[in-house]
Amino acid sequence: MFLRTLITTIFFSFASCCYAATIDVYPGKGSIQSNINKAIGGDVLLIHRGTYKEHDILINKKLTLKGENFPVIDGELKYQLFIVTSDSVTIEGLQIQNTGRSSMTDMAGVKLLDVSHVIIRDNLLLYDTYGVYLQNSHYCFISNNVMLANAKDEINSGNGVHAWKSGNLTIKDNKISGHRDGIYFEFVTYSKIIHNISIRNVRYGLHFMFSSNDIYRQNQFVDNGAGVAVMYSNGVTMIGNTFRHNWGDAAYGILLKEISDSKIEHNLFVKNTVAIYMEGTNRIGVAYNEFDENGWAMRIQASCNANVFEKNNFQANSFDVATNGTMMLNTFRENYWDKYDGYDLDKNKTGDVPYYPVSIYAVITERVPVTMILYRSFLTDIMDQVEKVLPSIIPDQLKDDYPMMKKWDLK
């Protein structure tokens, strides 16, 4: 019985391979859906240039949909477009645009439901509520797509890449702009976010919720409401990213909340309101990063514990470190601070006296935010000088005992 089943399976697999075909699809000559319905697993649908006003296109078998010169699949601002329910589907070279908006349905350009090994690449996803939406999907590859929307607020918008309860995803080389969040992960594990550009999104360039053991590296997060939020997660690796000009009343390069056992290395933080904000954050390694021209390089709440900050460069930041507590259970060592005015008599390249990166004015503004209006006034200079001579307010446990005399070369 087993042998008969095996032979039958091999026969049908061989037959499917031999009879796989390329099906040409032209506008006005049969719909995309009708061609999908008559195709067999393994076929390629070559979709020729033109406009196709179709919606809820169901792909329920292993197919490749390939566009020639970016044919337009238009939802007319009313409908969702592709729904994929089969494994091993590829969609490439299409212009997928103008989904509708609904409070009942998450309208997406491409929606993947309970599938694996799906590839979405080289597409233009324009003015869709959600660009690519993944639900309970695994080992999928989202690559080299342009996702452009025009979201005005968080309520009436969706995310460029939205993944829920998924794993082993690769999100790579995409350009995402104008969504609520550029990339959103919720209950997503063992996934990689690499070489993406996420700019001018309403809320976050990248947003993690309850997502652990993921990696994001060499991405650019520029001019978003905030750069990246990592919340209620652990084991997240953040390496080689750029966080630039995430600027506003509540804007961050990275917002960390209830996260543990992760690392932040070799990143560039330039002109963010707050480069890194940490709350309920434990056992994070922050090393080899550049903090340049930020409002606050770091805001570390008293709920943070056992984090290590080492071999970073801090320069031209308004405040290097701020905290709302008096005890400090974190470690700073061997960082370069441009405000350090100590000396190195033994020529070992580290300062002979510790550096206290929390200024008195940083302490005051944490307690009374309205006092920021007096920042850079003559009064603040006097207060800083007095605090250096007679320290009384700044948390004396927050210090770098081995401040570097020269910048680290982190290139």
| CA angle, 245 then 224 then 274, to 5° | 50
- What local confidence, expressed as pLDDT, does residue 10 receive? 46
- What local confidence, expressed as pLDDT, does residue 390 receive? 46
Dist. CA 180–CA 200, nearest whole Å: 9
- What local confidence, expressed as pLDDT, does residue 129 receive? 96
Nearest to 62 by CA among 46, 45, 40, 47: 40
Is 377 contained in some domain? Answer: no
- What local confidence, expressed as pLDDT, does residue 383 receive? 55
Is 396 contained in some domain? Answer: no
Dist. CA 300–CA 2, nearest whole Å: 63
Total number of domains constituting the chain: 1
Is 152 contained in some domain? Answer: yes
Query: Can you give the CATH number for the domain in which 176 is found?
Result: 2.160.20.10
The tokens of 187 are what? Answer: 């209950």
Residues in the chain: 411
Is 181 contained in some domain? Answer: yes
- What local confidence, expressed as pLDDT, does residue 11 receive? 44
Nearest to 318 by CA among 343, 348, 298, 332: 298
| CA angle, 300 then 302 then 305, to 5° | 85
Letter for the amino acid at 117?
H
Domain range enclosing 84: 20-224
For residue 365, give the 3-state DSSP assignment.
helix
Dist. CA 32–CA 274, nearest whole Å: 48
pLDDT profile of the chain (411 residues), mean per 10: 49 52 93 96 97 97 97 96 98 97 91 98 98 98 97 90 98 98 98 97 96 97 94 97 88 95 97 95 97 94 94 95 81 95 90 84 55 55 54 68 94 75
Dist. CA 20–CA 346, nearest whole Å: 75
Long-range contacts of 47-51 (CB under 8 A, 24+ apart): 47/71, 47/93, 47/94, 48/24, 50/26, 51/27
Is 8 contained in some domain? Answer: no
Letter for the amino acid at 344?
D
The tokens of 260 are what? Answer: 């543990």
| CA angle, 239 then 244 then 248, to 5° | 125
Is 163 contained in some domain? Answer: yes
Is 34 contained in some domain? Answer: yes
Is 126 contained in some domain? Answer: yes
CB contact set of 235 (below 8 Å; sequence gap of 6+) = 212, 213, 214, 261, 262
* First-to-final CA distance of the chain: 63
- What local confidence, expressed as pLDDT, does residue 154 receive? 86
- What local confidence, expressed as pLDDT, does residue 15 receive? 45
